[in-house]
Amino acid sequence: MQVSVVDYRAADAAEQFTRSLRDTGFAVLVNHPIPQTQVEAIYADWLAFFDGDAKRDYAFSVDTQDGWFSTQVSETAKGHTEKDLKEYYHVYPWGRIPTALRRPTLDYYELATGLAAELLGWVERHTPAEVAHHFSEPLSGMIAESRQTLLRVLRYPPLTGAEPAGALRAAPHEDINLLTLLPAANAPGLQVRARDGAWLDVPCDFGMLIVNIGDMLQEASRGYFPSTTHRVVNPSGDAARHSRVSLPLFLHPRPEVVLSERHSAGSYLAERLRELGVKP
């Protein structure tokens, strides 16, 4: 299994990109329109936020799911017992955002959401008709006017050595949403599970943009596009003394969008948040 690195500007980029998603659940883009300087500035600004105390004023709302999730409330991946070694902040344009971070973060949200919509269009164009006929509406329509698309700013703290045995920065999991856009983090660690069970490093040179399929697209495509299991492993040596920052954008449909006979986007999300232990 090979996650392809695709040049966004190549004539057949959409086709190569969709093929990699179909084969592996992942694709990596280079020469894409998100400036690396913008990503680096967000990493630096948010790292300072996580290092400070103001985050305590932004504890997440159970009801709306925006705000800061501490390491104590962090997710426990489905089927796991230890919490992930991470803290994170959920940004929605309608939610609470620390004032100084508001403008740059929303600028990034807009840019990344626009690119995500274009990439979803690529996927749509290269979906075989016999699969696309299951879609209750075009994929581009599913996200139109959606208030659910989520920008998660993640901070994996330095390791102290006192972590519970078996706890990982991010335990193996699948994403819930349609498509995830993830600029390469400031440190390695992301791995994807191949069909034979082996863990493969996802290419993550600084500047690359990683894209992966989430469960909602797997559900809507009746399994044609696989939502692949991935994880973030703990670093060793000197790297363990440093934080890792990453910035996934989870592209979500409007809640009333029908994914399959079993699920609307809203019912599916509610079920998954209960399983993660972040919503009753």
Q: Which does 187 bind (CB under 5 to 8 A by kind): ligand AKG, Fe ion, none?
A: none
Q: Which does 154 bind (CB under 5 to 8 A by kind): Fe ion, ligand AKG, none?
A: ligand AKG
Q: Which of 66, 84, 87, 175 binds Fe ion (CB under 5 A)?
A: 175
Q: Which residues are CB-neighbours of 52 under 8 A, at least 6 positions away?
A: none
Stretch of 35-43, 60-68, 96-104, 173-181 contacting Fe ion, by CB under 5 A? 173-181
DSSP 8-state code for residue 180: E
Which residues here bind ligand AKG, judged by CB under 6 A? Answer: 152, 154, 170, 175, 182, 185, 190, 230, 232, 246, 248
- To the nearest whole angstrom, how small is the minimum distance from the Cβ of residue 202 to ligand AKG? 8
Helix/strand/coil for 182: strand
Q: Which residue is nearest to ligand AKG (CB)?
A: 246
Distance of alpha carbon 22 from alpha carbon 65, whole angstroms: 31
Q: Which does 279 bind (CB under 5 to 8 A by kind): ligand AKG, Fe ion, none?
A: none
Q: What residue has token string 């996934």?
A: 248
Number of residues that bind Fe ion (CB under 5 A): 1
Q: Which does 96 bind (CB under 5 to 8 A by kind): Fe ion, ligand AKG, none?
A: none
Distance of alpha carbon 206 from alpha carbon 147, whole angstroms: 29
Q: Which does 185 bind (CB under 5 to 8 A by kind): ligand AKG, Fe ion, none?
A: ligand AKG
The pair of three-digit structure tokens given for residue 2, joined into one six-digit string: 């090979």
Q: How far is CA 192 from CA 172, 197, 269, in A?
A: 9, 9, 23
Helix/strand/coil for 89: strand
- To the nearest whole angstrom, how small is the minimum distance from the Cβ of residue 128 to Fe ion? 26
Helix/strand/coil for 253: coil
Stretch of 56-64, 71-79, 171-179, 267-275 contacting Fe ion, by CB under 5 A? 171-179
Distance of alpha carbon 130 from alpha carbon 132, whole angstroms: 6
For Fe ion, the binding residues (CB under 5 A) are: 175
